[in-house]
Amino acid sequence: MRDVAALDATAQAELVARGAVSPDELLDAALNAVAALNPQLNAVVLIQEAVARRMIAAGLPRGPFRGVPFLLKDLGCEAVDFPSHNGSRLLANTTYSADSAIYQRIRATGVVTFGRTTSPEGGIGAATESAVYGGPTRNPWNLDRTSGGSSGGAGAAVAAGIVAFAHGSDGGGSVRIPASSCGLFGFKPTRARLPDGPFAGEGWAGMSIDGFLTKSVRDTARMLDACEGPDLGAPYVAPPLGRGHAAAISRPPRRLRVALCDTTFTGEAIHPEVATAVRAAAQLLEGLGHRVEVARPRADVPMMMRAWTDIVAVGTALGIRGALKGRALTGDLVEGVGRGAVAHAESLSPLRYLQAVGEIHAFGRQMAGWFDTGWDILLSATLAEPPARVGRFAHDTTDYVAYRTGPQGIFAYSPFCAIFNASGQPAASIPLGQSTEGLPIGIHLAAPYGADEELIALCAELEQAQPWAARRPPLHA
d(CA 416, CA 325): 36
Map out the domains of the chain as residue ranges. 9-301+355-465
3-class DSSP assignment, residue 194: coil
CATH topology of domain 9-301+355-465: Amidase signature (AS) enzymes (3.90.1300)
Q: Is 130 a catalytic residue?
A: no
The residues pairing with 185 across neighbouring beta strands, listed in sequence order, are 214
- Cβ atoms of 355 and 238 closer than 8 Å: no
Q: Is 150 a catalytic residue?
A: yes
What separation in angstroms does the CA of 217 have from each of 16, 33, 71? 20, 23, 18
- Cβ atoms of 426 and 209 closer than 8 Å: no
Angle separating helix axes 301-324 and 336-347, nearest 10 degrees: 110
- Cβ atoms of 43 and 147 closer than 8 Å: yes
Of 286, 288, 278, 245, give the one whose Cα is nearest residue 454. 245
Q: Would you list the DSSP string of 105-122?
A: HHHHTT-EEEEEE---GG
User: Would you call 160 exposed, middle or buried from its count of C-beta atoms within 10 A (0-12, 13-18, 19+)?
Assistant: buried
d(CA 335, CA 130): 8
What separation in angstroms does the CA of 426 have from each of 38, 175, 239, 451? 32, 12, 12, 7
State the 10-residue block means of pLDDT for the chain, 477 residues long: 87 98 98 98 98 98 98 98 98 98 98 99 96 98 98 98 98 98 98 96 96 98 98 97 98 98 98 98 98 98 98 98 97 98 98 98 98 98 98 97 97 98 98 98 98 98 97 96
The residues pairing with 165 across neighbouring beta strands, listed in sequence order, are 214
CB atoms within 10 A of CB 405: 16
| Interacting residues of 385 by C-beta distance below 8 A, sequence separation 6+ | 270, 271, 274, 413
Q: Is 181 a catalytic residue?
A: no
Residue 167 backbone dihedrals phi, psi, to 5 degrees: -75, 145
d(CA 274, CA 133): 31
What pLDDT sits at residue 39? 98
Q: What is the dihedral of CA 447, 452, 458, 464, to 10 degrees?
A: 150
d(CA 106, CA 392): 34
Show the CA angle centred on residue 149, arms to residues 318 and 259, nearest 5°.
Answer: 105
- Cβ atoms of 297 and 410 closer than 8 Å: no
Show the CA angle centred on residue 99, arms to residues 97 and 105, nearest 5°.
Answer: 175
Residue 152 backbone dihedrals phi, psi, to 5 degrees: -70, -35
From the candidates 100, 147, 151, 174, which is the catalytic residue? 174
From the candidates 150, 151, 423, 429, which is the catalytic residue? 150
